[in-house]
């Protein structure tokens, strides 16, 4: 439950237009992409239709 709540925060942060300029956020997003458990949680949270964060490539 805590991981899902944290991922909701990540999804919200990724919706901020300027976030792609942040090297630390880009690194964090990359860490999510490379962890199967985190990808699964991200996709389940993202499925709620939370806006621009849906564009994050999780492949």
| Structure confidence by residue, pLDDT tens digits, 47-56 | 754 444 445 5
pTM exceeds 0.75, yes or no: no
Q: How far is it, in rounded angstroms, from Cα 26 to Cα 56?
A: 11
With tokens 């999804």, the residue in question is 11
Q: What is the pLDDT of residues 23-48, one digit of tens each?
A: 998 898 899 989 999 999 999 998 75
The pLDDT score that the predictor gives to residue 2 is 87
CB 29 within 8 A of CB 14: yes
Mean pLDDT of 7-22: 88
Closest C-alpha among 21, 32, 23 to residue 9: 32
Closest C-alpha among 41, 28, 32, 19 to residue 59: 32
Closest C-alpha among 45, 35, 33, 57 to residue 7: 45
């Amino acid at each position: 439950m805590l991981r899902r709540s944290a991922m909701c925060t990540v999804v919200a942060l990724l919706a901020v237009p300027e976030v792609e300029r942040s090297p630390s956020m880009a690194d964090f997003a990359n860490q999510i992409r490379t962890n199967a458990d985190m990808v699964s949680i991200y996709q389940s949270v993202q499925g709620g239709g939370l806006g621009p964060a849906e564009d994050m490539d999780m492949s």
